[in-house]
Amino acid sequence: MRIRSIAIAVFATLTAALSLTAQTKPAAVKTPRIYVFENGFIRGLDTKLFNLAREEVKEPDFVNTSYLIVHPRGTLQFDSGGIPDSQFKGDGALVVEGVQSADKPLIPQLAAAGYKPSDITYFALSHYHSDHTGNANAFAAATWITQKAERDFMFGEKPEGIIQPATYRALRGAKTRILNNEDFDVFGDGTVRVISAPGHTPGHQVLLVRLAKRGSVLLAGDLYHYPEERAKGILPTFEFNGDQSRASRAKVEALLKQTGAELWIEHDMATHARLPKSPAYLE
Ligand SMILES: [Zn+2]
């Protein structure tokens, strides 16, 4: 009798533990979703860095964003903001680092959407510039999707320029899917594709997502910063390789035409203003 009641107690505990596990795991989705995270602003930039006079640009300041793609077969975090979450004190105060400022950290936004960093299957950066790598270390348990040229630069002997190696140090030991200037179908069904678009940096890449209701969306990283760069065919002053940038822009423009995708310039205030922010999502 005693053994039986112990057995029942053990069974009840196990069942409770299992259902708790089930509850904390995010619910599966039927079609892809995009969550848009807000990672602050970049203000006071000199538009001349982008080969544009101040009066040629409607909005000189940047918004900073990152995205979570949720797919029936897993998740992909694309970019990670600029200011590491460790810099926030939890009081809602604005954190300022040079030209960057933000009033909320990234991981709590991920949590509000229902995900922890340990739930994330894949992590990808558009590129290594420090306004995109702020919380890269948090995703080192995911499989990192990177172009070889980008990874080689990031972990090279002297990574120089707009770079903060400490923010992505943990990626060095991450499980990594290395691409050689190639595109990659992340979940194998063509709905989420990493597109190689080098030039801004050696292994810059963009993300093409096909949503069931909204249609296709292209997360452009820093292929462009201002819409005026696109309209006027102008490259920033600090491209790693301008010829590659021009070729990548031509490739992406052809892809936009072919798929009818919306172009989301990651730093563009006007694009960002039109989008629902996480925990709302697009599908
Ligand atoms: Zn950027």
Distance, CA 79 to ligand 1 centroid (Å)?
10
Q: Is the pLDDT of residue 140 over 80?
A: yes
pLDDT reported for residue 160: 84
Distance, CA 225 to ligand 1 centroid (Å)?
7
Distance, CA 130 to ligand 1 centroid (Å)?
8
Distance, CA 86 to ligand 1 centroid (Å)?
20
Distance, CA 1 to ligand 1 centroid (Å)?
67
Distance, CA 12 to ligand 1 centroid (Å)?
51
Distance, CA 24 to ligand 1 centroid (Å)?
33
Name which of 22-26, 71-75, 111-115, 191-195 the model is least confident about: 22-26
Q: What is the mean pLDDT of residues 237-257?
A: 98
pLDDT reported for residue 7: 56
Distance, CA 216 to ligand 1 centroid (Å)?
22
Q: Is the pLDDT of residue 3 over 70?
A: no
Tell me the pLDDT tens digit for each residue of 172-229.
Answer: 999 999 999 999 999 999 999 999 999 999 999 999 999 999 999 999 999 999 999 9
pLDDT reported for residue 1: 47
Distance, CA 196 to ligand 1 centroid (Å)?
17
Distance, CA 73 to ligand 1 centroid (Å)?
29
Cα distance between residue 210 and residue 83, in whole Å:
29
Distance, CA 11 to ligand 1 centroid (Å)?
53
Output the 3-class SS for the chain. CHHHHHHHHHHHHHHHHHHHHHHHCCCCCCCCEEEEEEEEEECCCCHHHHCCCHHHCCCCCEEEEEEEEEECCEEEEECCCCCCHHHCCCCCCCEEECCEEECCCCHHHHHHCCCCHHHCCEEECCCCCCCCCCCHHHHCCCEEEEEHHHHHHHCCCCCCCCCCHHHCHHHHHCCEEEECCCCEECCCCCCEEEEECCCCCCCCEEEEEEECCCEEEEECCCCCCCHHHHHHCCCCCCCCCHHHHHHHHHHHHHHHHHHCCEEECCCCHHHHHCCCCCCCCEC
**Per-chain mean pLDDT for the chain:** 93
pLDDT reported for residue 158: 83
- Does this model's pTM top 0.95? no
Q: Identify the residue with better confidence: 159 or 281.
A: 281
Q: Is the pLDDT of residue 93 over 60?
A: yes
pLDDT reported for residue 250: 98
Q: Is the pLDDT of residue 17 over 70?
A: no
Distance, CA 239 to ligand 1 centroid (Å)?
12
Distance, CA 167 to ligand 1 centroid (Å)?
15
Q: Is 50 exposed, middle or buried (0-12, 13-18, 19+ CB in 10 A)?
A: buried
Q: What is the mean pLDDT of residues 5-32?
A: 61
pLDDT reported for residue 79: 98
Tell me the pLDDT tens digit for each residue of 103-117.
Answer: 999 999 999 999 999
Distance, CA 62 to ligand 1 centroid (Å)?
9
pLDDT reported for residue 207: 98
Distance, CA 134 to ligand 1 centroid (Å)?
11
Distance, CA 55 to ligand 1 centroid (Å)?
21
Distance, CA 21 to ligand 1 centroid (Å)?
37
Q: Which percentage of the chain shows pLDDT scores above 70?
A: 92
Q: Is the pLDDT of residue 94 over 90?
A: yes
pLDDT reported for residue 159: 83
pLDDT reported for residue 9: 56
